[in-house]
Structure 1
């Protein structure tokens, strides 16, 4: 079986499809990230959990498509794609930018469909109501590369190659523009519980800022801290999969 199966509308990549799966976990990537990032997590969760990953426009198999540079546009389009194919029960997992996109998609499901997600996993992202840096998308290319290097998660060979940089940086800049210009609606809250996952050395997501997700749900939020930085998930895939399984 291929590593993933792509939905006809190209937004959804399905990993480890199995009839024995009891529910689906829909994953939303970080800035500059793609659906394939969640391949290791999907394998760790199989066969009990069927993993879907969202593929934003402008990357991998969608590299020819125009970029979306607002969380609202990303959430609206992701919601429309998922609404056609997703059936309960399901949960959402979002990493960094993906956490706020997942939050907004979850709000749309709760408001516009009979049943929303059973849980949101918010990874490596401060709560929507907590302000953070807002100038990365305005920096020149070298400044953008400096920030990517600081956070890790990107192959340094890609950043050192001028041709690859020219392909990657517009995607990353659009994603940063989306998340840095994002602000939630006043009082925006989910009616499902939220599990917060964060690295203890994340330079942009202090544990206290991540814990503020509790303000955005009526069902409470729990916080799980892992050793590592913004991409702690790369080093703790099995532990994160176990945490997800326990929570679900």
Structure 2
């Protein structure tokens, strides 16, 4: 028996006052949560509804079992989005979230005949270039060291032993998702792809981000911004402005979600 997905449980929604003209879905990084993108809720015009994914095993979903595979997580996110396809849909994914966004985009096209207005990917190698990693099998200290190296997670959560015990299962599950994903065949998506990376990112270089062009026959653009793996903390305005600009560049962002060719 299939499980019914509660769409509201999977997203924190920053709703607009009237009916939205478009919808942006943000997919956080490994170890990340919806609160990291809190300021994005007010970064766009009044016609844009922003949804940020709420992964299980953290914050107000602390009692929900963590997901440990990319395919399972992508299936859940895809199903949760099905009631929300009434207006053009754009995905933005950072780090692990970029791979997740790509997998959701494929599922929406292949299983549900819906093509995104645009796919935005950040700080993560393309699906055919990612490499397997086994960090999730290491002890807590190795995981914590990697989280600290990358940034993006509140250090107080890792410094306090009690808080660390609470957050470590979700961090380990996310690193398993990211580490066991790929490389995969570069199946093209039917929408433009926009890629972003920091010029001092030690995990993904601008040259590696350029490989996303291999899955973007409908158009590709790479933006390199100052910063490291979490460049988007300091560069939020350039990134959100680029996302908003993408909606005016393509006709697919002016009407309902475009049906994919069968």
Partner Cα distance (1:39, 1:86) in 2: 23
Query: Which secondary structure does the structure 1 equivalent of 2:71 belong to?
Result: helix
2:132 touches 2:183 (CA, 8 Å); kept in 1?
Answer: no
How large is the Cα RMSD of the aligned pairs? 1.6
- TM normalised by structure 2 equals 0.87
Q: 1:4 maps to what in 2? A: none
Q: 1:53 maps to what in 2? A: 52
Query: Which secondary structure does the structure 2 equivalent of 1:50 belong to?
Result: strand
Q: 2:26 maps to what in 1? A: 27
Query: Whose RCO is larger (CA < 8 A, sep 6+)?
Result: 2
- 1:156 Cα deviation after fit: 1.7
- 1:175 Cα deviation after fit: 0.5
**Runs of 4+ in structure 1 displaced over 4 angstroms?**
none
Give runs of aligned pairs for residues 218-237 of structure 1, distance below 5 A: 218-237=217-236
1:155-205 CA-to-partner distances (Å, cap 9, x unmatched) read 222111111111111111111101111126424221111000111111111
Partner Cα distance (1:30, 1:86) in 2: 24
Partner Cα distance (1:116, 1:191) in 2: 6
1:76 touches 1:105 (CA, 8 Å); kept in 2?
Answer: yes
Partner Cα distance (2:132, 2:226) in 1: 23
Query: Which secondary structure does the structure 1 equivalent of 2:35 belong to?
Result: helix
Give runs of aligned pairs for residues 38-77 of structure 1, distance below 5 A: 38-77=37-76
Structure 1 unmatched ranges of 5 or more: 1-6
Structure 2 unmatched ranges of 5 or more: 1-5, 248-262
Q: 1:142 maps to what in 2? A: 141
Aligned residues: 242
- TM normalised by structure 1 equals 0.92
